[in-house]
Structures are given as C-alpha cells and as structure tokens.
Structure 1
Amino acid sequence: MPVLRSIRERFAVERPLDGVRVGVCLHVTTETANLVRTLIAGGAQVALCAANPLDTQDDVAAALVDRHGAEVHAIHGEDMATYYDHIEAVLATRPQLTMDDGADLVSRVHSHRTELLGEIVGGTEETTSGVVRLRALEAQGKLGFPIVAVNEAQTKHLFDNRYGTGQSVLDGILRATNMLLAGRVVAVFGYGWCGQGIALRAKGAGAHVVVCEVDPVRALEAKLDGFEVTRGALAAARADVLIAATGGRDVIGAEHYDALRDGAVLCNAGHFDVELDLPSLYERAAERREVRPHVEQFVFADGRRVHLLARGRVVNLAAAEGNPAAVMDLSFANQALAAEHLVRSAGALEPRVHDVPRALDAEIARLKLASLGVEIDTLTDAQRDYLTSWEIGT
C-alpha cells in the first residue's frame, strides 16, 4: 500500500491528528490495520470496531492492540448483541472524528448517543450503503456534523468498487463453491460501480451475465455494454448464480425464490445482509444444512435446492479476503486525507454530506501513478489558459 505508506510517513512528521480521538467502524482486516497505523502516526488516539460480524481477522485485531496501541473491539463471528456492544465501546471513548463503513457508528450517535454530537468535528463514510443512510439523515435535517463521502471519490468508486469488488466478489463465490463459472448464467442485481465490476469479471470468466436494474439510465448503460438486461424474476428462473449489489433491501426476495432453478446460488455483495430477503428464504425451506464452509443449502418443499453463501453477508469479506490491498491503498488514502481535511476545517464545514475535495482525489491518483512508475503529461500555460477562459472560440 505505497500511497498510504507515503501519507503515513508525512503524518509521522507533521502530526496533523495530534490528540484527536478517532472512532473507527470498518472491516478489521490487514488493509484497515495499515489505515489505523497511519492515523496513529498522525497523532490520533484510535478505537476500532468491526463493520460486519463476519469480517474480523482476529490476529489483525490482536496485533493492532499489542504492537500499535490501538483500542480494538472486534471478534470474528460475533453475534449482533456483541456487535452493537462493540460500537458502544468505541463511542465510550467520545470520538471527535468518526470513520464508518455502513454508517452504523454515525447512526448510533444520532439515535442513542446524541450527547456526543457537540464533540464530533466530522466523519467519513466508506461505502454506498452508508452514504445512502447519511443522505437520508441530511434530507431530514438531522445530520449533526459534516461527513466526507469517501465512497464518492473517483479514486474510490472507480477502482475500489469496480475493480476491487468486481474481483473479490467472484473470489468469494469461487472459494465458497469451487464452481466453474464458464457457461453459467450469472444474474447481477444492480449496475452501479460494484455491479459493473462484478458483471465485467463474471463475463471474463466465461459466464453469460444478465443485469437487473431499476434505474433506466444504468439499465441502458448495461445494455450498451453488451449485457442482457431483464426483470429480476425472469433472470432468477434461468440463473445459476444470483448476486445482489445495490445498497438497497429485499433486492432478491419471494418472487425470485419461487422462480429459482434447482441448485441456484444466492449471495450478497452489498454491505448489509438485507439485500436478500432472508426471512422469505427461511420460510420456504423444508430442510437446511451446511454443505461446505460458507455454503448453506435450503431444500424447498418441491425438492429444489438453493445455496446461500456466507449467511447473506457481504460475500467478498465473509467468504474471502475482501478487496486487494493495492485497491484499498486508494480508498484508505482517501480516508486518511479526509480525516486530515476535517480536522483542519473544524467548524468551517456545514453539517451535510460533502464530496472529497477534488485536489485530494487528484493527489491520491498522482501518488498511485508514481508508485507504479507511470509518468503523465502536464498542461502548458497556454493550454491551461484556454481551458479556463471563455473569450477564445473557433
């Protein structure tokens, strides 16, 4: 993670987060550990909990405590009561800055710990699902402090969501099932940045990809990208693998389950397991059993077998290792620089969802290119003047 490393080296000298209490709710992985190390190098006091009950790497959590002085509240496979206890433990440190992946930390502050609102100077949000929740909070006029939507940075969604998630979701499916994708029908529900990446990688593995969408622009984009586009229930009747990647809820539900073919595989690439209507799936099961690690088989009354991966949790983290470090380098560089930006701008930003400043986005891309040994051109003064003027025409 060379970009994050370069930021960490600068942070260690400049200490832009000196004394700042940072509450972090992210996937507890090796990549997140590098982000936490960077925040600590910048002077922050970090308390970390997991953004998903199944994603914690326990050895990483232990190393962050033993070797780097972070406060960590996370256990792989924790139940939901423990999950929220860990969020409360992070909030007990009275963070001045929050980092979220799914907005559970911020949601808890606004619903149960409102006394903390006056102490928090800002927060960051990593994923689409979290940004959706935060924009809803903003729309109701209830957002209590500024949030930088890291997910909306070009160096995040163009690379992490499309290339990282595209690869890691297929990695999770293949690790869990060991199935051959070539010749299979894969239905991708949602054609946002993550859905685009998944569809592209599935196509590259030889699958016939069907895209299901509710947004007409995204559906048209999928069609012009060469994918079949149809309604979800029609796709479910043919699909060998169904993947939800929308940030919404009940994306795959009762009407799809009733249409599924025998042996179909269900999985979720979104942050929350609500993308799959799991209660409806459970209701239809006459029998259920684990047939492989991360693969639960449901036998319907008519004899059809349906396979659910990773209990409906985000499959690339629950059944694999998540996005590669080379991609998370960009995402977590955004997190580190957004944290620095929020601290430097304390009191100056409105309590709403903000984009990552364009200059930070460009700096991260520049650092990544440099780490890859790639050189690009620069504009001449004349070119720059032309692009910033209105007088010069044909």
Structure 2
Amino acid sequence: MNDYPPISEQLSDLESAQREGRRKMDWAAQHMPIMAAIREEFEADQPLAGERIAMAMHVEAKTAILVEVLADGGAEVAVTGCNPLSTHDDVSAALDTHENITSYAKRGVDDQGYYDAIHATIDLEPTITVDDGMDLVAAIHEDYPELIDGIVGGAEETTTGVHRLRAMDDDGALEYPVFAVNDTPMKRLFDNIHGTGESSLASIAMTTNLSWASKNVVVAGFGYCGKGVARKAAGQNANVIVTEVEPRRALEAHMEGYDVMPMADAAEVGDVFITTTGNRDVIVEEHFEVMQDGVLLANAGHFDIEIDLEALNDLAADRYEARDGVDAYELADGRRLNVIAEGRLVNLAAPVSLGHPVEVMDQSFGVQAACVRELVDNGEDYDAGVHDVPDELDRKIAEIKLAADGVEFDDLTDVQREYMGSWDHGT
C-alpha cells in the first residue's frame, strides 16, 4: 500500500481551504447545465454503485464537478493531479470532504510526490480509470498489471494522452479498453478550439499584463488547439505565424490567411511563441540563439518538454523571476527570453490561470461522464484498445446543451432519412 496522504492531511488551514474550494465549485456548477442534468440522472439511478474510479486530472473547480457527479452516482473515487502546477489546493480539499471521494492532488509537488499521488489513487484498485495525459494508465500497466483484469475500461481527456494510448495500442501493450474522449466532436470542436484558444491567451495576458495587438504570435502546430490559439490571437489583432510539420495542416493555415514558415525563420521575427503540439523539442537551442530580446515563450500543448528549457538554461548567463509566473533567461549578449509557467501548461499552471471556460468544460466532462456510464453498462462490448466515443453519446451531450440554452434545431424527415440511407436514388 502507498502511504501518500490525502490533501486533508497536508494543509494547515484546512477548513478555510474547504470553504473557498466549495465556493469555487458552486460558481462553476451554476454554469454547467450538462453536468447538472447528468448529476440528477446519476443521483436517481445510481448507475456507478460498486464501481471504484481512479482519476488523474487537472484538479480545479470544473473538474471537481465531474469528480463529484461520479461519486454522487455511487462510485468510490480517488483523484490526483495530472500536472504538478495545475491543482487548486482549496478545490482538492473541498472534494476530500465528500464521503465517496479521496483527493491526493496538491499543487507544487516534486516528481516523486506527483507519482506517489498517482500510485495512491491506484491503491483503490480501480474498476475504471479517467485520465488526462495517460500517466495513470501507464502506471497501472507498468507497476500494477495484476489489477488489469478487474478494470472495465477507461476514458482519456486530452490529445497527448490519446497519442500515447494509440502508440501503446499499436504495440499491443494496452490491455483494457479506453475511450478517446479527446477525439469526439463535442471535445475537439469546443474544448480544444475555444477552450485552449481563450484560456491560453487570457492566462498569458494576465500573467504578463501585455497586449496582443500588433505582436507577431508564433503558434507551433495547427491541430485543433493550434487553430483555436491562432484564431483567438488574430481576433485580438495579433499577426499570426504558424509552424507545422504536416503539409495539409500547413496548407490549411496558409489558406486561412496565416503566415506559415519553419520555426527557424519564425524564431527571428516572433514576439510570442505558443506551442500546441504535444510533442517534444519544438523550440530548441538554434531557435533561442536568434530570438529577439523580450520574447515570451509559453506551452499550450501538454507536458513541459515542448520548449527545451535545459538548453535555454545552458545558454543563459543569468536566470531570474521577472514577474510572478515569468522566468527571464538572460543570455550573454543581454537578450532576455521570458518563459511563462515554467514551460508547463500555460492555461493551468500560470499563477492566475483558471483553465478553460466553465461552459466549455461542461461539454467535455459531460462526455467523460457518459463514457464512464457506458463502460459500466456495456463494458463487455469493448475489447482492449482505444475506442471512439459512440456517436449517440456525443449527440446526447450536444442536445442537453442546446436545450439548456433554449436553442431549437431541425430534424430529418422520414423521406430525407430514407434518401440519405439509400444508394439507388439517382438524379
């Protein structure tokens, strides 16, 4: 057994933290109609009774609503963070007051504490996993293979985690079914585009107190997250430059009116650099060597390996905190390259970060909750490997949201449905 303590044993002013965390959660809940509808259904049906759910997520107010809804549906839940700097300790403490929830998430832990907390959630011997980045799934397969037979399945929230899972699946190493929540329309079209775009830019602006207008903003990667960052930056009068390795995405960015060039060229002209790739070594030594004085470097992808901070540190003659959440690396020639949030996920790890807007995460977490119920109800229908979210589940979440917003929409007539499903109707 892992003896890593829950958050309630790590805070000195516990009651105050719990009150503040609950206040944040109550505010989020006001603006999450999808999760409210699911909570009502789960409380009535208790579909998760007897299930044990281990979670590694960004533990803040919106995520807390998902955790609480799963627990209110009858599950026993153990949760920790998926990034050492994204946890809100007060929210973690508030979660830990729920009789069905144990929270191990704490902000600012070192690598050892981060992984100890993940192992602590696995001590629950989960029947279901909910992950953001796949560290939880990886730990189970590497260190607790004896638990796999008891796991019905899992759900993965983010692009990086899905990429890792698919690589694991391709190698034949993934031994239970996992839903690629990230890849479903209700996640990609809203969370990745609007959520990442809005929250990343807002976090950078609040952390630096600088304007976007007229700046050359270099967006590394033009997937769904990169598209959102580029679109929102352009909407705030920035000049957007896109770097890409995939020719069709590069062409798409070009056709949408953005400048497209290699990072080696963009490094010479950029004012702000935002990585959204989920890959490593996107901005490296050769790029630092030609950057202008005062540039901002931020990561909106996932792990803190997109910007090569080791190389930057080796180049620097001095390093100091220029502003809360901003580390300045001063080079020998006097140029200062400013790294936000230690190169970690900027919309969650910067001091003023709050993550994606509440309404956006309501949709993503609605899909997560629906996937957990699907695993409980029909888990035997899914073999080990990565699975797309069933389309009817995704549509249901959209319908709940539209109804909550008072939006009506059309449906196909019987004639139209028959026509679309046939092959023998000619001109």
Same fold (TM over 0.5): yes
Once the two structures are overlaid, the 10-residue window that deviates more, 173-182 or 59-68, is 59-68
State the shift of 1:347 in Å: 2.5
1:134 pairs, out of 165, 169, 175, with: 165
Residue of structure 1 in register with 2:396 after alignment: 363
Q: Distance in 2 between matches of 1:290 and 1:10?
A: 48
Q: State whether structure 2 residue 252 is matched by structure 1 residue 192.
A: no
User: What letter corresponds to residue 411 of structure 2 in structure 1?
Assistant: T
Residue of structure 1 in register with 2:150 after alignment: 119
1:84 pairs, out of 111, 115, 118, with: 115
State the shift of 1:14 in Å: 1.1
Q: State whether structure 2 residue 316 is matched by structure 1 residue 285.
A: yes
State the shift of 1:67 in Å: 4.1
Q: Distance in 2 between matches of 1:118 and 1:301?
A: 56
Q: State whether structure 2 residue 371 is matched by structure 1 residue 338.
A: yes
TM norm structure 2: 0.91
State the shift of 1:348 in Å: 2.3
Q: For 1:240-298, what per-residue CA distance to the aligned partner results, in whole angstroms no more than 9, with x for missing partners?
A: 10010011111111121111111111010011001111111111111000011110000
User: What letter corresponds to residue 29 of structure 1 in structure 2?
Assistant: E
1:56 pairs, out of 64, 83, 87, with: 87
User: What letter corresponds to residue 293 of structure 2 in structure 1?
Assistant: D
Residues 75, 100 of structure 2: 8 Å contact kept: no
State the shift of 1:356 in Å: 0.6
2:56 pairs, out of 18, 21, 25, with: 25
State the shift of 1:117 in Å: 1.1
Q: State whether structure 2 residue 130 is matched by structure 1 residue 96.
A: no
User: What letter corresponds to residue 270 of structure 1 in structure 2?
Assistant: G
TM norm structure 1: 0.99
Residues 34, 397 of structure 2: 8 Å contact kept: yes
Q: For 1:289-336, what per-residue CA distance to the aligned partner results, in whole angstroms no more than 9, with x for missing partners?
A: 001111000001121100000000000001210001100001000100
- Identity %, equivalent residues: 48
**2:269 counterpart SS class:** coil
- Give the number of equivalent residue pairs: 394
Q: For 1:66-89, what per-residue CA distance to the aligned partner results, in whole angstroms no more than 9, with x for missing partners?
A: 245410001111111100000000
Q: Distance in 2 between matches of 1:144 and 1:67?
A: 31
Q: Which runs of 4+ in 1 moved over 2 A?
A: none
Residue of structure 1 in register with 2:212 after alignment: 181
Residue of structure 1 in register with 2:424 after alignment: 391
Residue of structure 1 in register with 2:136 after alignment: 105
Residue of structure 1 in register with 2:193 after alignment: 162
Residues 179, 387 of structure 2: 8 Å contact kept: yes
Q: State whether structure 2 residue 258 is matched by structure 1 residue 227.
A: yes
Q: Distance in 1 between matches of 2:87 and 2:148?
A: 28
1:2 pairs, out of 33, 36, 42, with: 33
Residue of structure 1 in register with 2:22 after alignment: none
Residues 71, 77 of structure 2: 8 Å contact kept: yes
User: What letter corresponds to residue 415 of structure 2 in structure 1?
Assistant: A
Q: Distance in 2 between matches of 1:174 and 1:115?
A: 47
Q: Distance in 1 between matches of 2:314 and 2:60?
A: 34
User: What letter corresponds to residue 379 of structure 1 in structure 2?
Assistant: L
Q: 1:187-336 alignment to 2 at 5 Å?
A: 187-319=218-350, 320-336=353-369
State the shift of 1:344 in Å: 1.3
Q: Distance in 2 between matches of 1:268 and 1:93?
A: 33
Q: 1:31-70 alignment to 2 at 5 Å?
A: 31-67=62-98, 69-70=100-101
State the shift of 1:346 in Å: 2.3
Residues 18, 44 of structure 1: 8 Å contact kept: yes
2:183 pairs, out of 131, 135, 152, with: 152
User: What letter corresponds to residue 406 of structure 2 in structure 1?
Assistant: G
Q: For 1:7-60, what per-residue CA distance to the aligned partner results, in whole angstroms no more than 9, with x for missing partners?
A: 110011111111100000000011011101110121110000001000111111
Q: Distance in 1 between matches of 2:100 and 2:349?
A: 26
Q: Distance in 2 between matches of 1:364 and 1:68?
A: 28
Q: Distance in 2 between matches of 1:376 and 1:244?
A: 37
Q: For 1:117-148, what per-residue CA distance to the aligned partner results, in whole angstroms no more than 9, with x for missing partners?
A: 11111000000000011001001001010000
Q: Distance in 1 between matches of 2:166 and 2:153?
A: 15
Q: Distance in 1 between matches of 2:286 and 2:383?
A: 43
Quote the RMSD (CA, aligned, Å): 0.8
Residues 297, 308 of structure 1: 8 Å contact kept: yes
**1:259 counterpart SS class:** coil
Residues 37, 68 of structure 1: 8 Å contact kept: no
Q: Distance in 1 between matches of 2:140 and 2:386?
A: 16
